[in-house]
Structure 1
Amino acid sequence: MLVPVLLAGMVVGGGATYMVVVPTRPANPLMTANAADFKAFVPYYFEPCGEIMFEGKDPRGRFDDCARQTITQVRIATGIDLTAEDLRDPKVKSRWLSVMGKK
């Protein structure tokens, strides 16, 4: 797996040149997901997780269950570890609503 990095600078000393590399966090794949991606990443089989997480239809407080399932599916498909905060990002909600025809 490729790891994105941010080149922080070059250090020269003792006749050698060293690159200082700082790893960066991979982009959230939900920010660029299409409808097929959302269907693969966001479970629907036990409960409509997209509606629960992105449309506020969560009468039984199931966000955390859906978030865990979605994080697992994204990790399996992409190798990227998301957090519940990544799923709460308003840009992800906006993307879901737009792509899934809810807006």
Structure 2
Amino acid sequence: MRNLRWMLISGATLVIAIGGAVYYFFPKQPTNQAASVSNDVPPPSKESRMLAVPAGNPLLTADSNQFRRWVPSYPIRCGEIIFEKANPKASNFSFCVAEIRKRVTTATGYQLSRDDVIDSRVATHWNEVTGAK
């Protein structure tokens, strides 16, 4: 009885494994054969979004979500250190500037300088967008 049970379990497992492999390795065939023959590129959907990088400092046009991604808030509140206090002698000031530069470059491909990050216009924009002070 035990051998029969193990044979059924291992047989079911084998069927599921083979079915999963077939599903994974063989792509779905398109239902519309005319669409698959055409080499036309479909128009972009309304839901697709394209990253538009402005010519210049991206921090000057960043929205609140971008600031949330680019300006670290844990474990160090870089926004307060860089934009509110704006004291270059504060602890972690250099770390925060370097981290913001790295994150903006990774997200946009635009290389920020140290002066771009500590620009007073960026601080004003950050305060407006985030509602600080």
Structure 2: unaligned runs, 5 residues or longer: 1-54
- For residues 37 and 101 of structure 1, what CA distance do their matches in structure 2 show? 14
Q: Report what 1:28 is aligned to.
A: 57
Between Structure 1 and Structure 2, the one with more helix by share is 2
Structure 1 runs not aligned, ≥5 long: 1-25
**CA offset digits 1:9-63 (Å, max 9, x no partner):** xxxxxxxxxxxxxxxxx41000001100100111112200000000007684221
Runs of 4+ in 1 over 3 A off after TM superposition: 57-60
Structure 2 Cα separation of the partners of residues 57 and 39 of structure 1? 18
Q: Rg bigger for which structure?
A: 2
2:31 aligned with 1:38: no
Name the TM-score, length of structure 1 as normaliser: 0.70
Which has the larger strand fraction? 1
Q: How many aligned residue pairs are there?
A: 78
2:59 matches 1:56: no
SS class of match (1:45): coil
Percent sequence identity over aligned pairs: 37
Letter of the structure 2 residue corresponding to residue 44 of structure 1: S
SS of residue in 1 equivalent to 2:110: coil
TM-score (norm 2): 0.55
Structure 2 counterpart of 1:97, from 102, 116, 127: 127
